[in-house]
Structure 1
Amino acid sequence: MLITVSAEKDGDFTRLQAALDSISQKDYSEVTIRIKPGVYREKIVIPSDAPPILLLGEDPEATIISWSDNAHTLDEDGKPLGTFRSGTMNIFSKQFTAENITIQNASGPGTGQAVAAFVDGDQAVFRRVRFLGDQDTLYTGQGKQYYNDCYIEGDVDYIFGPATALFDRCHLHNKRSRGYITAASTPEGTSFGYVFLDCRITSGEGVRDMYLGRPWRPYGHVAFLRTVMDGSITGEGWHNWGAPDREKTCRYEEYESSGAGANPSERVSWSRQLTSTEASKYQILTILGGWHPEGY
């Protein structure tokens, strides 16, 4: 099934949510929603019972889904939304894919937690997607998630959550100083949390003292392999979130980091540099527990 969304009124729908709402939950065949270039200012919800959906844009720079809720935004009952209801795009379904689009939370810096993409469904795939925001840009909820050639920006905990999420050749961009890229809450006993393969980290002018991560929960796992890091990354690399006990349980790993921010001799003692044998186990199918993101 193919549906076209166009802001210029030359498609089946002018709004993405209207297109999603038109999909029958009784038909579980895959649906492709082609999104033509434009700025779509709307808050999106994809329910848990939705069939497999592909959101297909033409150009991530020109196909933008944007909203500006944050944790302090009041709902219809006058109560703050909180972090988990602030998302621009909220994905609860299984087997969801997005390509060539931008997902933006336009709330702005200093407004607190403001999620661009709230991804809480298993087997989610993102290719050439830009995630724009400041604090808490990307929430990775349950299941396995795969990000390929994506751009993710923010300042504080801008990739956070419990999922096993693989970031393959992605670009991370730090917007302000003294922040944290990741805040993993990997469940105890989970083999992999966040894995960054062949990524790069850049920053805005003058940005410094950024940490690779801090453990939102005690067993947070984050690994950076062959990642190019600019000088915004602080020497110690990792932060314990003010909870020294988490140093004993979280797993923070690197392998062959390069660039001005790669300083293995200065890293905190409770992080690890992987051996080549250990790093060889970080293969896509192994990380994702045998799930094969089609087309990678």
Structure 2
Amino acid sequence: MSHRELSPREVTARDDERTCGGVRVSPSGAGVCVDTPLRLSFDRPVTLGRRGRLQVHRTDGTVVDTIDLADPEGARRPIGSARTDHGELHLWHYLPAVAEGTQVLLTLHRGLEEDADFVVTMDAGFVQGHGGIRAEDGWRLHTKRAPARGTAQVEVDASGGKDFCTVQGAVDHVPEGNDRDVTIRIAPGTYREIVYVPPTKPRLTLRGGDRNGTVITYPNNDRLNGDAAMRGLPIEISCCPKRVLPGSDRFNCWRAVVGVDADDVTVENLTIHNSTPAGGGQAEAFRGNGRRITLRRVSLLSHQDTLRLQGAGYVVDSYIEGDVDFVWGTGGIVVEDTELKALGPGYYTQIRNVDDGPGAAFVNVRLTRAPAVPDGSCYLSRVELSRFAPSQVVFVDASMDAHIAPQGWVLTDATGRWDTRRLRLAEHGSRTLDGLPLDVDGRSAVARTLDPDEAAPFRTPAHLLGGWDPR
């Protein structure tokens, strides 16, 4: 299907915020994205009701989607055609309706048909104290045509001015079994969504228009879409695909803001923020489980488990913040020329290598801290020795503040029962943030200091990434 450019009339109609039933609604009119979120704007702070439905109808009255506040199953939906390890379509828990101050934000269960007319209605009491929106009140949408399938570039704009309104809508538009490079350009704006790239859609680049101004955010976490949430569900509909650690990777792949199970994916020039508050559980901003995943000029924000990389991943010219294990994973990981900021006492990394394969290297990074983080309260890494005895973590030419404990490294089950000889924990050239050589005489005996010749290979990413040179 060919791409149809919007006329000036359509652009104006699309951007208008219409008043229906005494409340401002958007979008309305023509030129609406098929993946559009919906928004209600009030003149006062509002609260959602306990029951009531918001429905999207075709003009013949057929209901195509329903958000039902009284139906707990209505808060589950497929995202990115994700399938479990058993091939079953996975349903994610999400927040279909959210009241934030004077606004109500609404996420439909699926995209709308393109180039079609729709009417939106809302029951009285869906928003407390509001009388609802009837069909005759006139909340009408006409969706625009999407670009042709297989195009090399699609554009996303939260305000509705491009091909799609959501990042996931653009990912979904990429054909299954994609075999060409596709760039998804994301305009500055806030994208409140969970994004998932399945294994069938490799060779994607997600490119933000402004690193600080292009923000993908969601309060996804273990309690919403992880072990805590999935434990009671049949394993066929919840178990992770592409499991790297079969003994432990059962349900922990669904809790990131942006999750990637495809190869050859690049994310650049944007911010990914998991808005789960401190103490809210494991909550990745980005999870990558594929070969040749690159993060360039990105900011990753969360508290626990901010960045998880499996397979082979490379991070450069970026910023990562968190407090507990906020870089973790297995496989080859290289992070260079990047600031890693501790938001509280805790552990910068937890790397889980189960064989003698490549681990994680941090090259020319800066380890900083939030103002309230005490001296000596953070560690370079912690390792669960009983399960991940061959783990490899190397810091080369790193600058670090005094919040790094003199001991540096922690074994969480260090007893005489476990052999530490397979551990590969090391550093070279560590210095203060002012560039002065750092005294590492107090480091744990489980780690070692590399000499210059030993450290040199880690400055070349291909050394840990199976020969792949992401530079």
- The TM-score bracket by the shorter chain reads over 0.9
Q: Counterpart of 2:292 in structure 1: which amino acid?
A: Q
Change in CA separation of 1:234 and 1:26 when aligned onto 2, cut-off 3 Å: closer
Alpha-carbon displacement from aligned partner over 1:65-101 (angstroms, at most 9, x marks no partner)? 11112111268xx746964321111100000001101
The normalised TM-score by structure 2 is: 0.59
Counterpart-to-counterpart distance in 2, 1:26 and 1:138: 27
Task: Give yes or no for contact 1:25–1:51 (8 Å, CA) kept in 2.
Answer: no
Shift of 1:247: 3.0
Is residue 2:239 matched to residue 1:71? Answer: no
Alpha-carbon displacement from aligned partner over 1:155-186 (angstroms, at most 9, x marks no partner)? 01111111211001111000001x10100002
Is residue 2:199 matched to residue 1:31? Answer: no
Counterpart-to-counterpart distance in 2, 1:239 and 1:4: 45
Change in CA separation of 1:26 and 1:121 when aligned onto 2, cut-off 3 Å: closer
Counterpart-to-counterpart distance in 2, 1:67 and 1:2: 25
Change in CA separation of 1:256 and 1:27 when aligned onto 2, cut-off 3 Å: closer
Is residue 2:398 matched to residue 1:230? Answer: no
**Quick one: which of 327, 338, 341 aligns to 1:159?**
327
Counterpart-to-counterpart distance in 1, 2:344 and 2:399: 19
**Quick one: which of 303, 319, 341 aligns to 1:173?**
341
Task: Give yes or no for contact 2:190–2:217 (8 Å, CA) kept in 1.
Answer: yes
Task: Give yes or no for contact 2:155–2:164 (8 Å, CA) kept in 1.
Answer: yes
Change in CA separation of 1:257 and 1:86 when aligned onto 2, cut-off 3 Å: same
Counterpart-to-counterpart distance in 1, 2:414 and 2:446: 13
Counterpart-to-counterpart distance in 1, 2:216 and 2:448: 38
5+ unaligned residues in a row in structure 2: which ranges? Answer: 1-151, 232-237, 239-250
Change in CA separation of 1:137 and 1:257 when aligned onto 2, cut-off 3 Å: same
Counterpart-to-counterpart distance in 2, 1:257 and 1:156: 22
Aligned twin of 2:465: 288
Shift of 1:236: 0.2
The normalised TM-score by structure 1 is: 0.93
Counterpart-to-counterpart distance in 1, 2:212 and 2:450: 36
* Bigger relative contact order, structure 1 or 2 (CA pairs below 8 A, ≥6 apart): 1
Task: Give yes or no for contact 1:123–1:144 (8 Å, CA) kept in 2.
Answer: yes
- Percent pairwise identity: 31
Counterpart-to-counterpart distance in 2, 1:21 and 1:288: 29
Between 1:241-250 and 1:10-19, the stretch displaced more is 241-250
**Quick one: which of 79, 86, 97 aligns to 2:266?**
97
Shift of 1:203: 0.1
Counterpart-to-counterpart distance in 1, 2:281 and 2:273: 15
Aligned twin of 2:206: 55
Task: Give yes or no for contact 2:225–2:254 (8 Å, CA) kept in 1.
Answer: no
Alpha-carbon displacement from aligned partner over 1:235-255 (angstroms, at most 9, x marks no partner)? 000000123425332211100
5+ unaligned residues in a row in structure 1: which ranges? Answer: none
Paired residues in the alignment total 290
Q: SS state of the match for residue 73, structure 1? A: helix
Q: SS state of the match for residue 159, structure 1? A: strand
Aligned twin of 1:184: 351
Q: SS state of the match for residue 21, structure 1? A: helix
Counterpart-to-counterpart distance in 1, 2:404 and 2:281: 22
Considering only CA atoms, is the larger Rg found in Structure 1 or Structure 2? 2
**Quick one: which of 263, 281, 289 aligns to 2:439?**
263
Is residue 2:299 matched to residue 1:126? Answer: no
Alpha-carbon displacement from aligned partner over 1:183-242 (angstroms, at most 9, x marks no partner)? 00023111x311011110100113131000011422111000000001110000000012
Change in CA separation of 1:19 and 1:255 when aligned onto 2, cut-off 3 Å: same
Change in CA separation of 1:115 and 1:246 when aligned onto 2, cut-off 3 Å: farther
Between 1:181-190 and 1:37-46, the stretch displaced more is 181-190
Q: SS state of the match for residue 420, structure 2? A: helix
Q: SS state of the match for residue 155, structure 1? A: strand
Task: Give yes or no for contact 2:178–2:200 (8 Å, CA) kept in 1.
Answer: no
Q: SS state of the match for residue 344, structure 2? A: coil
Is residue 2:417 matched to residue 1:241? Answer: no
Aligned twin of 2:305: 136
Counterpart-to-counterpart distance in 2, 1:74 and 1:48: 19
- Moved segments of 4+, more than 6 Å: none
Q: Counterpart of 1:152 in structure 2: which amino acid?
A: I
Counterpart-to-counterpart distance in 1, 2:177 and 2:344: 46
